[in-house]
């Protein structure tokens, strides 16, 4: 009985030590644009002006929308890649047992394209051409 209680106490102390170890992974992605200063939206959430960073919990694909005056609005899909130490069962160790904090930093760079302003007369010509094609097609 004494040996059984000792094993139980040892197991409880080991579990308690594991529970208080401050291991965790801090995941952060940064989006940079050239030129900087574009509004960055990830999914439905605006995260700020580039360079902008956001924390994430899950790996996978995110839609990024980039807007800046004088430049084309762009949408891209970025892949938040799982590093080797986050592959199961290693992720249990890095998330729970390592002392200190593990940093996962990912960066994405985008080149913005200047907006092309089409003169009004050219737009009217295009519209008339499309109308003519539609009438012929009927």
Q: pLDDT digits over 49-89, tens only?
A: 999 999 999 999 999 999 999 999 999 999 999 999 888 88
- Show the domain range for 28: 2-137
> What value does the mean pLDDT of the chain take?
87
Which value, to the nearest 10 degrees, does the dihedral of the CA atoms of residues 8, 11, 16, 19 take?
A: -140
Please give the model's pTM, rounded to 2 decimal places.
0.69
Supply the pLDDT for residue 19. Answer: 55
Confidence of residue 10 (pLDDT cuts 50, 70, 90): confident
Gap between the Cα atoms of 97 and 20, Å rounded = 9
Q: Which residues contact 84 (CB under 8 A, 6 or more apart)?
A: 90
H or E element, residue 134:
helix 120-137
Q: Is the model's pLDDT at 14 over the cut of 70?
A: no
Supply the pLDDT for residue 21. Answer: 53
Supply the pLDDT for residue 86. Answer: 87
CA distances from 30 to 49, 52, 53 (A): 11, 6, 4
Gap between the Cα atoms of 1 and 9, Å rounded = 12
- Please tell me the total count of domains within the chain: 1
């Amino acid at each position: 009985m004494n040996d059984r209680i000792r094993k139980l106490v040892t197991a409880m102390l080991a579990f308690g030590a594991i529970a208080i170890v401050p291991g965790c992974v801090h995941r952060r992605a940064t989006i940079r644009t050239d030129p900087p200063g574009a509004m960055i939206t990830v999914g439905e959430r605006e995260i700020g002006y580039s360079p902008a960073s956001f924390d994430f919990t899950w790996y996978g694909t995110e839609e990024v929308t980039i807007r800046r005056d004088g430049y084309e609005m762009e949408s891209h899909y970025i892949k938040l890649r799982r590093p080797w130490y986050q592959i199961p069962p290693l992720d249990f160790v890095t998330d729970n047992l390592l002392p200190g904090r593990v940093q996962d930093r990912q960066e994405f760079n985008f080149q913005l394209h200047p907006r092309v302003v089409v003169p009004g007369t050219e737009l009217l010509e295009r519209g008339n051409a499309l109308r003519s094609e539609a009438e012929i097609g009927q």
